[in-house]
Amino acid sequence: MTSTRLLLIPCFIVLSLQLAAQSYPGQDSGRIAALNEVVVTGLFGTATLKQSVFKIRTINQATILARAANDTYSLLAAELGIRLHADHALGETDLSILGMGGNNIKILVNGIPLLDRGSTRQSLGQIDINSIERIELVEGPMSVLYGSDALAGVVNIITKNASAKTATLAVQAKIQEESMGQVYAPFSGNGIHQRTVAVSQQTGKIASNAYLTSIEMGGWKGAAPLRAREIRPKQQLLTGFSTAYQSGNWKLLYRLDYLHEEIYAPGQYNQNNTAVDAYYKTNRQTHQLSADWQAHSKLLIQTAFSYQQYQRTTSTYRLNFLEGTKEPSTNAGEWDEARFNAAFARITARWNWTSWLKLQPGLEFKSEQGMGDRISGSPRITDYSVFLTGEVQPLKPLLIRPGLRMNRNSQYDAPPVISSINAKYQFLPNWDIRASYGRGFRAPALRELYFQFFDANHAIEGNPELKAESSDSYQASISWQPEKAANKADWKFSLSAFYNNFRDRITLAQGSGNLFTYFNLDRFKTKGTAAELQFNYRRFTLQTGLLVIGRFNAYYGNDTYQYNGTSAFAWSPEANLNLRYTIPAWALEAAVFYKFNGKLPVFTASAVAGQEKQQVYLAETASYHWGDFNLTKTIGPYLRLQAGVKNIFNVSRINNTATAEGSAHTGSGPVLLSYGRSWFSSLQFNWSKQNKKKNAATSR
């Protein structure tokens, strides 16, 4: 479909604005959230951002709605310190935080770890964006509380679970249409087409909700020849429900989420009028059960259980266009099935012993099993952990949080004890200092231990002798946040610095012959500093920041390499700016989201003819700017219209002089980042029936 079809979108906007001649007092679309939001990740109950001993950032519901994203990655991409790394061949995306890769980031849903089949955090793209209430980001090691993989930090996704709200019945429906670059067809085919419906009900002590979302992405041809696609077509079906029961001192919650995903990879024509097409299908289901028991005014017992199943299949067919046939391909590696199961259980006790001392002991169990054509046997990894954290407040302005965790693993050499300590000190009425040290570790993934893949282009084998990665991390920050007075601006400013030192980093490297396997080879360090500012005033909100990250030269100090002027660290900047402004009289909000990602440096080494030592060079991926602009219009009490442009700067490819680090492939050249500038519009319907008795009781 040509770009002229996109004229339908602004015409739709104009028509809708004409239909809405006034705003409705029941829909305050201009309400801006305060800077002191309530968070829960890693804390003793709920606390405001200012009260938290951890440095936590949030992506609240207002921001999620304003972004009009199709997946969680798009929400995180605008955050300072977060970078995305897309693998368009597999239809997957990974992320890094403060220079540390996705395998060092713990992904949680309601505080429960989410299953990934390897070190890539592809699970973030398999969560219904419409079911997310908010996202909490904790930077720095959280291994004492959350175990393996939490070296770089934690991404905790808080979903819209069933609860006893004032509405006894609520219905939400949404349709969103988006182009892929200049390519779009209405409601199906080219472009991105998102449809969702959700229903919630509360009756007495029981509340329930359910959702169903369908996302169809038509793919993007780009520079691919003939029938191939640079970005593969993808379809997702996401559904689930939750039910909650609350009575007296008990609170119970069960939640089920299910995903079915299909990625289609059409092959190009061969000289004999044939093509090879591949299909990647994923099925994922996640069960969560949690129970809270207020045993005493000073004692809260919390339990959480989860069981997850993940299945991904690869099917490959050979098409003969002359004969009109489609037959299964018999080449090695073109058919595969991988299955992973994970069971998780945690029990904690929150004991408010005195006004100045709180304790939280806990037990945790996790078991993962992998099976498939490319996994040796049916290995299972089991973790057993005991942890204890506390909050000590010897002085009113000083809060100290120490922690210890003991681990035992069935397969690898896990650190027997890890520790952390966090402190917050209010040295002036509006000034806080936070400092922390944490020991972290990352367990080898099942695929790193037992993966086997051999075909004409690959020879990869796992290493069951791997050790766990470990790290020491230090953070410090100072923040200024004055008390907000009526009709005054709300400010928050912070400066922070961090340093991380990793040991026994797991990497894929070439062993004997052409065989690639995983080794505990690399040492790695990151350090950096950031400045962030948030400002709210009436209907205007601003968030901006600047970050500089240094990444370590792993070859530095090794006499077997020639450095060629490279230093111990290479530096990379980032900056962001988010603006939102509402006009209540028009029931209209405008939002701008901007992010600058500086050059991404990578140190590489290669042999040069005539040189005894391997030569170390500084390669890099080029910098780029990313921006979105959205308009949101409330129409009457039930409708919400949104439209805008994404990727304003029309970024598609960026130059790359680096090789594929930690991969069985090498190469450099332009990197495909996106399909370019796109346009979108969405229409959302919200209806609710209020519980009049509860409203009356609340008003009293």
Q: Hey, which of 11-25, 31-45, 566-580, 655-669 has the most confident mean pLDDT?
A: 566-580
Query: How large is the average pLDDT for residues 44-72?
Result: 89
User: What is the model's pLDDT at position 2?
Assistant: 46
User: What is the model's pLDDT at position 5?
Assistant: 45
Non-local CB neighbours of 261 within 8 Å, separated by 6+ positions = 126, 234, 235, 236, 237, 280, 281, 282, 283, 284
Non-local CB neighbours of 180 within 8 Å, separated by 6+ positions = 190, 191, 192, 217, 218, 219, 220, 231, 675, 678
- Sign of the alpha-carbon dihedral angle for 423, 476, 473, 346: positive
Segment (H or E) for 144? helix 143-146
Residue 538 within any structural domain of the chain: yes
Residue 645 within any structural domain of the chain: no
What type of residue sits at position 528? G
User: What is the model's pLDDT at position 18?
Assistant: 41
Q: H helices within 408-475, ranges in order?
A: 446-450
CATH of the domain at 496: 2.40.170.20
Q: pLDDT tens digits for 512-552?
A: 666 778 888 778 899 999 999 999 988 999 999 999 999 98
| Cα–Cα nearest to 264, from 234, 226, 221 | 234
Q: pLDDT tens digits for 391-449?
A: 999 999 999 999 999 988 887 777 788 999 999 999 998 999 999 999 888 878 777 88
660 by DSSP, 3-state: which?
Answer: coil
Q: H helices within 455-614, ranges in order?
A: none
Burial class (CB in 10 A: 0-12, 13-18, 19+), 141: buried
User: What is the model's pLDDT at position 631?
Assistant: 97
607 by DSSP, 3-state: which?
Answer: coil
pTM of the model: 0.88
Residue 650 within any structural domain of the chain: no
Measured between alpha carbons, how far is 363 from 129 in angstroms, rounded to an integer? Answer: 31
Determine contact, residues 541/34, Cβ cutoff 8 Å: no
Whether residue 668 is predicted with pLDDT greater than 70 in this model: the reply is no
Residue 641 within any structural domain of the chain: no
Picking from 1-10, 28-37, 364-373, 435-444, which range would have the lowest pLDDT averaged per residue?
1-10
Confidence of residue 612 (pLDDT cuts 50, 70, 90): confident
Residue 546 or residue 21, greater confidence = 546
Token pair of 62 as six digits: 């207002």
Q: pLDDT tens digits for 449-488?
A: 887 766 555 577 788 888 888 889 999 999 998 887 666 7
Mean pLDDT of the chain: 85
Picking from 177-181, 375-379, 590-594, 684-688, which range would have the lowest pLDDT averaged per residue?
375-379
Give me the percent of the chain exceeding a pLDDT of 90.
51
Residue 623 within any structural domain of the chain: yes
User: What is the model's pLDDT at position 14?
Assistant: 40
User: What secondary structure does DSSP assign to 461-485, as a single string?
Assistant: E--TTPPPEEEEEEEEEEEE-PPPP
Measured between alpha carbons, how far is 456 from 376 in angstroms, rounded to an integer? Answer: 19
For the chain, the 3-state helix, strand and coil shares in percent, each to the nearest 5, are: 10, 60, 35
Residue 670 within any structural domain of the chain: no
Picking from 100-104, 272-276, 446-450, 662-666, which range would have the lowest pLDDT averaged per residue?
662-666
Residue 83 within any structural domain of the chain: yes
Segments forming the whole domain that contains residue 443: 3-556+569-636+680-699
User: What is the model's pLDDT at position 164?
Assistant: 60
The conformation of residue 445, written as its DSSP 8-state character, comes to P
What is the number of structural domains in the chain?
A: 1
**Helix count (H) and strand count (E) of the chain?**
6, 39
Residue 320 within any structural domain of the chain: yes
Q: Which residue has the tokens 């495909």?
A: 672
